Amino acid sequence: MTRIFGVHPADDGGLPMAVRRAADAGARALQCFTAPPTYYNEKVGLTATKAAAIHAALDAVGIARRHVLVHAAYVLNTASPEEAKALRARGGLAKELERSTALEALGCCFHPGSAGDGDPTDAAVRVGLAIRHALETVPERAAGTRVLIENTAGAGRTMGRTPEEIALMLAQVPPALRHRTGYGLDTCHLHAAGHDLTSSPEALRATLDRFEQVIGERPAFLHLNDSQHPAGSNKDRHALIGEGTIGVAPFAWLLADGRTEGIPLILETPAERAQVVEDDPTADPADRRMVALLEGLRLG
Ligand SMILES: [Zn+2]
Ligand SMILES: [Zn+2]
C-alpha cells in the first residue's frame, strides 16, 4: 500500500526552501503557510511570480501540487460572536482560499475558532457561512482547491471537536459549492477531544466511521501527531510519534485503514532544530526520523 506522508517544514528563506526541506525529509506531501500565521492577512495576495517559484521547487523534487496543503492563520476566528472579529476572519479565510488556489493546492485547512460566550449552534453556522463566503468570493479553478475544516481538541468553547459540529458547519454551504469543501482530522486533537484511538484497532476504526457517517464523507487529509496530554484533556500539545499518550501502535492501525490512502498524511510534530539557516535546504532531523518511522509502520 502507498501512503503519502508529508511534513510542515520551516519556511525560513521562503516557501521554495520549505519544499526542499520537505523533500529532504523523505516526504511526498507538504504543508505550509502562505502568510504569517499570527496575522489575519486579509489583504495579502500571492503574486504569480511567487507561485511560479514554488511550483518550480515542487516540480524539481517531484511533490504534486494536489499533495500540498495550506494551513490557514491561527487567528482567524470565524466562529466569534463579536461581529467585527468574525467579519475580519471571514475576509482572511477568503484570502487563504485565494492564495491556496493560486498555488493549485489540495486546499487550505483552518481551525473553526471559538464560540466565546455565544451559542455554539450560532457559532457553527457562522463558520459555515464564512466557508460559503470564501467559495463565493474565489472562483473555482481546474485544481479544485478546497476549504477544509480541521477538527479541534475542544479546549474552552472551541468549535469542531465533534463530527456533528463539523457537519453543521458544512450544511451551511449550498449543494452547488459543497464539493469545494470538506474536513480533515488531526490525531492529537481527536485524542485530546476524547475520541478513542488507542484502546483497539476496532475502536480507532469506529471513531473514523463516526466522522464519515455523520459528515457523509471521508477526511480529505490527516494530521499525524502524538499528544503530550492524556485522552480527553482537551489540550492541544503535539508530541513526536511514540513519545506521547497515543503511542506508536494506533498509527500502525490507522495506516492499515483504506481511508489513509491517497490523501496527504501530514506530520506536525515538534522540530529538533532551534534555529534554521535561510539557505539550508536540509530537513529537520526529527522530521526525517518521523517520516522513516511512518514508512516502517506502513510496511508493517
Ligand atoms: Zn491545525
Ligand atoms: Zn493539526
What is the widest separation between alpha-carbon atoms in the chain?
Answer: 51
Ligand 2 centroid distance, CA of 178 (Å): 22
Residue 135 CA, chain-centre distance (Å), reads 18
pLDDT confidence of 140, banded at 50, 70, 90? very high
Residue 1 inside a domain? The answer is no
pLDDT confidence of 222, banded at 50, 70, 90? very high
Ligand 2 centroid distance, CA of 121 (Å): 23
> Nearest bound ligand to CA 74?
1
pLDDT of 41 over the 90 cut? yes
Tell me whether residue 100 is exposed, middle or buried, using C-beta atoms within 10 angstroms of its C-beta: 0 to 12, 13 to 18, 19 or more.
Answer: buried
Ligand 1 centroid distance, CA of 175 (Å): 26
Count of structural domains, the chain: 1
pLDDT per position as a tens digit, 188-203: 999 999 999 999 999 9
Residue 265 inside a domain? The answer is yes
Ligand 1 centroid distance, CA of 159 (Å): 13
Residue 248 inside a domain? The answer is yes
Ligand 2 centroid distance, CA of 113 (Å): 13
Supply the pLDDT for residue 1: 72
Supply the pLDDT for residue 300: 75
Q: Which domain holds residue 111?
A: 7-299
Mean pLDDT for all residues in the chain? 97
Provide the whole-model pTM: 0.97
**Mean pLDDT, rounded, for 27-49:** 96
Ligand 2 centroid distance, CA of 66 (Å): 18
Residue 281 inside a domain? The answer is yes
62, 98, 144, 151, 186 from 41: Cα distances, Å: 29, 11, 22, 22, 24
Residue 22 inside a domain? The answer is yes
* DSSP 3-state of 7: strand
> Nearest bound ligand to CA 190?
2
Residue 2 inside a domain? The answer is no
| C-beta separation of 181 from 146 below 8 A | yes
pLDDT per position as a tens digit, 259-287: 999 999 999 999 999 999 999 999 999 99
Ligand 2 centroid distance, CA of 73 (Å): 12
Ligand 2 centroid distance, CA of 266 (Å): 8
**CATH number of the domain to which 152 belongs:** 3.20.20.150
pLDDT confidence of 299, banded at 50, 70, 90? confident
Ligand 2 centroid distance, CA of 87 (Å): 24
**Mean pLDDT, rounded, for 249-256:** 98
pLDDT per position as a tens digit, 70-129: 999 999 999 999 999 999 999 999 999 999 999 999 999 999 999 999 999 999 999 999
* DSSP 3-state of 47: coil
**Mean pLDDT, rounded, for 3-30:** 98
Ligand 2 centroid distance, CA of 223 (Å): 5
Whole-angstrom distance, CA of residue 225 vs CA of residue 239: 6
